[in-house]
Structure 1
């Protein structure tokens, strides 16, 4: 009997609108791959709005996915950088957590995850190094842009949902329409809805996130609620 597949999806805030990186595209690639291998999909677990540079303790979805693995199972991703884009030590520690359960990380894109032959191990290490390099370059560019904005007196960071910038592009004022959505979110939470159920309800009402995303993420809903009161995990 083949082992099960636990599909893991991850998207960071910056990647959510990029082609080929959406959660839906990742899920289609990973589940199709598992189907070709004859691996039953035991679970599909995601981290939304989470950077691949974060350690395992700050990746609730990845922790859940690893916990769902048993001997002979595979943690299936659309690409290996969905698991980590960080330093070699952190990446190796995540892999050890997976292998300690008798499972392995498998990429639908191949990427040297087919087996542990010397050439495939080398390929994985090279790809991981490039993923770390790419993340470092992104951070470098971001720091440069923010420094330039600060020196010019410009606002840095995203405008929180429920607000809009003033005419000078620096200050913030309440956006009445978005503020109403925030209050609706709090009301739905008071009615006992889970974060994921709130996200689905907002989408069903035709309400979309600030930056044109396809759907509300659990992280975004939690952030809206936390502005007035702590939001418990679900």
Structure 2
């Protein structure tokens, strides 16, 4: 831990996604407050991301970015969340966040104690929690997709943000031609063996935009799309103007 950080100060982070409401912000706050009282720690700032999934890129979470900024400004020694899965439901994201916090001279802690890296068993438990959180996210995603497919088969109206490459039209999921073209570009670039960072740069150069407010592509987003698998022949070429 770097010199100058205050071990009696912490910054709190809360996250609630659209598909898992079992641990709402009130419950998360209560858990963190109890953790802080037991250790004599003062929480100097609270930050929250609403309707944000645990696999969302770190840069696409305004609440988390604000929490890291508060950590730097206050020189607090700890970024605390109620549980590990509030930080991320993706092993790589969880690791990347740990690195960012460590570069600030601070540490990550959770009210349930699963972020204790001071013992061998603690480090093992932390990584196991990250893996199971990622697995649970995948299970939730598969169940959601199955439920939506059943609704569509019955001709029922579906709601919520459609997967990239599709849009809602008259209550049904239909292909979005511009986003399908982006997926075509992605598949071809993957076949060439480019890294996700190189692919992000290539898509940007071609004028292809993500759904993020700034239109930027992040490695996590591209990895998630790549895991959906191939969807047929993908022609090369520039994307149409203002692809979103």
Please classify the TM superposition score into its range, dividing by the shorter chain length: 0.5 to 0.7
Q: State how far apart, in whole Å, the 1-side matches of 2:113 and 2:53 are.
A: 22
Runs of 4+ in 1 over 6 A off after TM superposition: none
Per-residue CA deviation, residues 87-129 of structure 1 (Å, 9 max, x unaligned), is x222211111111101111111111x23332211111111100
Are the aligned partners of 2:10 and 2:80 in contact in 1 as well (CA < 8 Å)? Answer: yes
Which segments of 5 or more consecutive residues in structure 2 lack a partner in the other structure? 1-5, 162-169, 173-244
Are the aligned partners of 1:34 and 1:76 in contact in 2 as well (CA < 8 Å)? Answer: no
TM-score (norm 2): 0.60
Q: State how far apart, in whole Å, the 2-side matches of 1:8 and 1:72 are.
A: 13
Q: State how far apart, in whole Å, the 1-side matches of 2:70 and 2:18 are.
A: 25
Match status 1:80 vs 2:98: no
TM-score (norm 1): 0.62
Q: Residue 13 of structure 1: SS of its match in structure 2?
A: coil
Per the TM alignment, residue 158 of structure 1 is displaced from its structure 2 partner at its CA by 4.8
Matches within 5 A, 1:1-234: 2-16=7-21, 18=22, 21-70=23-72, 73-86=77-90, 88-111=91-114, 113-158=115-160
Q: State how far apart, in whole Å, the 1-side matches of 2:105 and 2:7 are.
A: 13
Per the TM alignment, residue 170 of structure 1 is displaced from its structure 2 partner at its CA by 5.5
Which segments of 5 or more consecutive residues in structure 1 lack a partner in the other structure? 160-168, 172-234
Per the TM alignment, residue 72 of structure 1 is displaced from its structure 2 partner at its CA by 5.8
Per the TM alignment, residue 149 of structure 1 is displaced from its structure 2 partner at its CA by 1.6
Q: State how far apart, in whole Å, the 1-side matches of 2:138 and 2:30 are.
A: 29
